[in-house]
Amino acid sequence: MNHIFKKKENYLFSISFVFWKSAIEKIISITLRAKIDSLMPNYAANIMSIFSSGNLMKKIKLHWQILIAIVIGIFFGLQFTDYVPYVSWLGDLFLRALNMIIIPLVLSSLISGVANIGGERLGRVGMKTMLFVVITTMLAVLTGLFLVNIIQPGVGADLGLMEKVDHLASSPTSFGETLMRIVPTNVVDAISKGDLLAIIFFAVFFGALITKLDTKYQSFLSDLFNSIFEIMMKMTLIIIQFAPIGIFGIISKVVGKQAANPQILVAIGGRLGLLVITVLLGFVIHSLITLPLLLKFVARVSPLKHYQNMSTALLTAFTTASSGATLPIALEAVEHKNGVSNKIASFVLSLGTTVNMNGTALFECVGAIFIAQAYGIQLSFGQQVIAVIISLLSAVGAPGIPMAGLVVMTIVLKAMGLPIEGIGLILAVERILDMFRTAINVLGDTSTAVIVAKSEGEILKI
Ligand code: ASP
Residue 454 Cβ < 6 Å to ligand 1: no
Distances (CA, A) of 84 to 47, 76, 88, 266, 348: 15, 8, 6, 19, 48
Domain 122-189+259-455 has CATH 1.10.3860.10: yes
Radius of gyration of the chain (CA): 22
Q: For every one of its 462 residues, what pLDDT tens digit does the chain have, with 9 covering 90 and above?
A: 444 434 434 444 444 444 555 554 554 444 444 443 443 344 334 434 444 444 555 667 777 888 888 889 989 988 898 899 999 899 889 888 877 887 888 788 778 877 876 555 557 788 888 899 999 999 999 999 999 999 999 886 555 544 444 444 344 455 566 667 778 899 999 888 777 678 878 887 898 888 889 989 988 998 999 899 888 878 887 887 888 898 898 888 878 877 777 777 777 788 889 999 999 999 999 999 999 999 999 999 999 999 999 998 898 889 888 888 888 788 889 999 999 988 788 778 877 887 899 999 999 999 999 999 988 888 888 888 888 988 998 888 788 888 889 888 888 888 788 887 788 778 878 888 999 999 999 999 999 999 999 998 898 888
> Which atom of ligand 1 has the smallest separation from the CA of 442?
9
Whether the CB of 410 sits within 6 Å of ligand 1: no
Q: How far apart are CA 275 and CA 242, in angstroms?
A: 25
For 215, other C-beta atoms within 10 Å of its C-beta total 7
Domains of the chain, by residue range, sit at 122-189+259-455
CB 118 within 8 A of CB 127: no
Question: In 3-state terms, what secondary structure has residue 321?
Answer: coil
Confidence at residue 144, expressed as pLDDT on a 0 to 100 scale: 97
CA of 408 to the centre of ligand 1 (A): 10
Q: Distance between CA atoms of 462 and 449, rounded to whole angstroms?
A: 13
In this predicted structure, what is the pLDDT of residue 314? 93
Instruction: State whether the beta carbon of 433 lies less than 6 angstroms from ligand 1.
Output: no
Whether ligand 1 lies within 6 angstroms of the CB of 438 is answered as yes
N- to C-terminal Cα separation, the chain: 30
